[in-house]
């Protein structure tokens, strides 16, 4: 099967960095199904986004533990800050590692072009959760490193210092609370968008499961010709983003925001809220351990029609094996070890994909508060790629790119003359055209 360019898989126009050099591999080629001879060391490359673990030595610790079980497999770790963008470039070649984190915006029907099948979804689902995202026609191509809740990382001490002791439950209460924080503590940034980092803004899209309280929200959205109407889930989410930016409740110049510094500032009480996954909680807590109890995880401030609050839970990056790898068996051993035996998920604030795993403290706190964790249902047979197809055709980058969320912020802070409702109307038009195209196929 001829591999197409990854740029042909998504109609999104992505500006990428210059082509990275092919990843090194010191092992001589061998049959991927034939284990190395006794005493022979096989080298594999694992490409991932966990730059912080390379910096703090955590990956070295993990690979030392892995080598206690598999001493004949040497793992070369490569970490990338702009993971999604740079992996697009690498995947135009065959040199994108042996084991990697599966990029989010590849259409399911194209998985087989890039990734080795890991087994039948039905069989693997007896052991793992969160398999809905990276399967196609019953075949699994990725297994989540962890399941994350998506919501808000909050420095609750910031709220308490402003006289707010309970996290808001509606958009109106939330915006008012941020205004109170700014009024009482002008040096604090109530909500940090991380505009410049870009990828962080996709988290605003991922809260849709919790905001809607509907496990079929994504499947329905892929067939809805007007999902950005006022009162609908996506409009509600984007309206909150627009309001906080318009009211000056975000960083002064979002175009120069700094992701790494934002975590430091939140740990030190200089930021109130960031919309992220639960994985970010331990990263922030580790910066100033004595302030760790101040950092909590809250659901997006919306109460569903049934009076309950929900928090969407879904797979983080999935581990996948390069279909071109000459070391598939060794890569699979590392994949299985990371998911089945290591503490990767819990140490990153997530829920293990392995059934029966330990819940992280961040999610336990939400459960204690009565928030219901909600995992999306899989798309119906024959519609596995419908959302991805519609999203790519509309070029709105829901959950995959940052440009349209940046556009909302630009309009809110006066960097453009656009009006929020005009943007939403345009989104509806683009989305409707895409829905019509694929509903007729």
pLDDT tens digits for range 129-173: 999 889 999 999 999 999 989 999 999 999 999 999 999 999 999
CB-count burial class (<10 Å; 0-12, 13-18, 19+) for 263: buried
Among candidates 105, 62, 95, which has minimal Cα distance to 392?
Answer: 105
> What is the pLDDT at residue 33?
40
> What is the pLDDT at residue 364?
73
Give all domains of the chain, ordered by start, each with its CATH number: 6-146+316-358 (3.40.190.10), 147-315+371-441 (3.40.190.10)
> What is the pLDDT at residue 171?
98
Tell me the whole-structure pTM to 2 decimals: 0.74
- Dist CA 202 CA 313 (whole Å): 15
> What is the pLDDT at residue 315?
87
Among candidates 102, 96, 115, which has minimal Cα distance to 21?
Answer: 96
Q: Are 139 and 116 in contact (CB under 8 A)?
A: no
- Higher-scoring residue by pLDDT: 100, 440: 100
> To the nearest 10°, the Cα dihedral for 90, 91, 95, 97?
90
> What is the pLDDT at residue 215?
94
The two three-digit tokens of residue 146, written as one number: 């962890």
Contacts (Cβ under 8 Å, ≥6 apart) of 66? 73, 75, 334, 337, 342
CA-based Rg of the chain, rounded to a whole angstrom? Answer: 22
pLDDT tens digits for range 47-82: 999 998 999 999 999 999 999 999 999 999 999 988
Residue 329, pLDDT > 70, answer yes
pLDDT tens digits for range 167-200: 999 999 999 999 999 999 999 999 999 999 978 9
> What is the pLDDT at residue 22?
33
pLDDT tens digits for range 14-30: 323 322 233 333 333 44
Per DSSP, the chain holds a count of helices (H) and strands (E) of 19, 14
The two three-digit tokens of residue 407, written as one number: 């556009």
What DSSP element (H or E) covers 210? helix 208-212
> What is the pLDDT at residue 25?
38
Residue 237, pLDDT > 90, answer yes
pLDDT tens digits for range 299-322: 999 998 889 999 998 888 999 999
Residue 34, pLDDT > 80, answer no
Residue 12, pLDDT > 80, answer no
Give 221-226's long-range contacts (Cβ < 8 A, gap of 24+).
Answer: 221/387, 221/398, 222/379, 222/383, 222/386, 222/387, 222/390, 222/391, 222/435, 223/386, 223/435, 223/439, 224/431, 224/435, 225/428, 225/431, 225/432, 225/435, 225/436, 226/428, 226/431, 226/432
- Dist CA 238 CA 65 (whole Å): 44
Please work out, in degrees rounded to the nearest 5, the angle formed at the alpha carbon of residue 410 by the alpha carbons of 413 and 252.
45
CB-count burial class (<10 Å; 0-12, 13-18, 19+) for 403: middle
Residue 423, pLDDT > 90, answer yes
> What is the pLDDT at residue 110?
94
DSSP 291: G
Dump the DSSP string for 344-406.
HHHHTT-B-SBTTPPPPHHHHHHHHTTPEEEEPPPPPTT-TTHHHHHHHHHT--TTT-SHHHH
> What is the pLDDT at residue 18?
27
Give 243-246's long-range contacts (Cβ < 8 A, gap of 24+).
Answer: 243/171, 243/175, 243/412, 244/175, 244/178, 244/190, 244/191, 245/193, 245/408, 245/409, 245/412, 245/413, 246/412, 246/413
pLDDT tens digits for range 242-293: 999 999 999 999 999 999 999 999 999 999 999 999 989 999 999 999 999 9
């Amino acid at each position: 099967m001829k591999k197409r360019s990854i740029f042909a898989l998504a109609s999104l126009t992505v500006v990428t960095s210059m082509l990275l050099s092919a990843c090194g591999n010191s092992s001589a080629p061998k049959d991927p199904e034939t284990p190395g001879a006794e005493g022979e060391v096989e080298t594999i490359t694992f490409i991932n986004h966990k730059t912080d673990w390379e910096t703090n030595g955590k990956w070295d610790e993990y690979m030392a533990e892995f080598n206690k079980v598999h001493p004949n497999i040497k793992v070369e770790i490569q970490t990338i800050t702009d993971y999604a963008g740079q992996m697009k470039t690498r995947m135009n070649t065959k040199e994108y590692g042996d084991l990697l984190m599966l990029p989010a915006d590849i259409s399911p029907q194209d998985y087989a072009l890039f990734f080795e099948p890991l087994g039948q979804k039905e069989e693997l689902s007896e052991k793992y959760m969160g398999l809905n995202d990276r399967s196609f026609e019953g075949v699994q191509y990725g297994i989540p490193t962890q399941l994350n809740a998506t919501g808000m990382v909050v420095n609750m001490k910031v709220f308490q210092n402003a006289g707010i002791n309970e996290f808001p439950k509606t958009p109106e209460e939330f915006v008012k609370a941020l205004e109170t924080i700014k009024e009482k503590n002008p040096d604090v940034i109530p909500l940090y968008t991380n505009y410049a980092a870009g990828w962080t803004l996709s988290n605003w899209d991922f809260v849709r499961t919790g905001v809607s309280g509907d496990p079929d929200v994504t499947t329905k959205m892929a067939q809805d010709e007007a999902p950005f109407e006022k009162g609908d889930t996506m409009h509600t989410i984007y309206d909150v983003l627009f309001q906080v930016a318009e009211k000056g409740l975000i960083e002064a110049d979002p175009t120069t925001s700094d992701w790494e510094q934002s975590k430091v500032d939140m740990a030190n009480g200089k930021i109130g809220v960031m919309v992220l996954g639960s994985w970010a909680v331990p990263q922030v807590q580790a910066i100033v351990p004595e302030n760790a109890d101040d950092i909590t995880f809250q659901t997006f401030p919306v109460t569903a029609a049934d009076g309950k609050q929900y928090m969407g839970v879904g797979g983080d990056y999935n581990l996948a094996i390069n279909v071109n790898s000459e070391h598939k068996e060794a890569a699979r051993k590392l994949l299985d070890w990371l998911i089945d035996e290591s503490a990767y998920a819990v140490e990153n604030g997530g829920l293990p994909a392995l059934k029966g795993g330990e819940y992280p403290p961040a999610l336990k706190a939400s459960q204690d508060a009565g928030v219901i964790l909600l995992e999306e249902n899989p798309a119906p047979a024959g519609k596995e790629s419908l959302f991805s197809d519609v999203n790519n055709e509309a070029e709105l980058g829901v959950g995959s790119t940052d440009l349209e969320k940046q556009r909302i912020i630009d309009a809110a802070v006066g960097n453009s003359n656009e009006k929020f409702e005009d943007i939403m109307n345009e989104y509806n038009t683009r989305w409707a055209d895409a829905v019509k195209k694929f509903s007729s196929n």
